[in-house]
A = this chain, B = another copy of it.
């Protein structure tokens, strides 16, 4: 059976403002010195496993131009343009229906577009295990990341002792849990039975569609209509009509927390969700003062700083534990302890009607 990939690339990525904007969210940015964007890396690392022509990108219709520019090898008809944002369940239903229409059935690797992987061979190996699990019956496989520390910003996957019949490294999922508090996260780690929910899924199109029919029948019906019109003149009309009618729902809440036959494959391959500006020093090399500095920057006596220079000179003197990001029309100076407050800047800009800066 054909192996396809569905790259989910509709996100906004406010936490990388001012580099990320409504018009260019995180997955279309390069946050590493090699200049490759997040989505380019996502596609490139899949190529040992999936042919370019079998890679689908689901994104907002506003970003199809960016996808075309950054991924010229992806066939145009594989760029699935959502007319509006409806979270992951409608996104996956849309892609599943298209893949069913195009291939009859196929394995789908459903993957975020804006994560980084340090050890790509280990990643591919983990995906292969997930594929063998996903090929069996109506199994839904998900990659769980072996935690390094009690992170409170991720959801967790609680797994049991039972393993898949076809793959001894795949464990039956007991439940999905939301972001825990620190105490709970510590208990999760101590138990040895919890993994980080990476948002990576592997299943057959027929399996996820069967589960959609069972748990989200309205979205299933709409997705089938979209799939039926794929390749016809009425496709865009059908897509807009059906997709905009979908309710916003995550696949975790809509399907994964309810379905049977869910297996998780624990992975440890240098995964980083690159969640905010703090990630940049993790995913890049730093200097002897623990600074990550790129671009037009003069740094004097600075420590543990992340400085992304733009066209103008950025002079940084004697500061510590700070993030500085320069762009043509805005510069951010943010304490490392307050990266979550970057979204407050965006809220204020929206409030002030400065939408060109958002």
Q: Is A335 an interface residue (CB 8 A)?
A: yes
Contact B298 A312 (CB under 8 A): no
A232 CB to closest chain B CB (Å) equals: 46
Given contact pairs A312-B329, A330-B312, A357-B313, A318 touches B301 in the complex (Cβ within 8 A): no
Q: Is A333 an interface residue (CB 8 A)?
A: yes
Copies per complex of this chain: 2
Contact B338 A318 (CB under 8 A): yes
Given contact pairs A318-B335, A319-B322, A338-B318, A313 touches B330 in the complex (Cβ within 8 A): yes
- Which of B326, B339, B349 meets A331, CB within 8 Å? B326
A316 to chain B: closest residue by CB: B333
A328 CB contacts on chain B under 8 angstroms? 312
A287 CB to closest chain B CB (Å) equals: 16
A161 CB contacts on chain B under 8 angstroms? none
Contact with B along A302-332 (1 / 0, CB 8 A): 0000000000111111111010101011111
Q: Which has the most chain B C-beta neighbours within 10 Å: A312, A315, A332? A: A315
- Which of B301, B314, B317, B338 meets A301, CB within 8 Å? B338
A330 CB contacts on chain B under 8 angstroms? 312-315
Q: Is A342 an interface residue (CB 8 A)?
A: yes
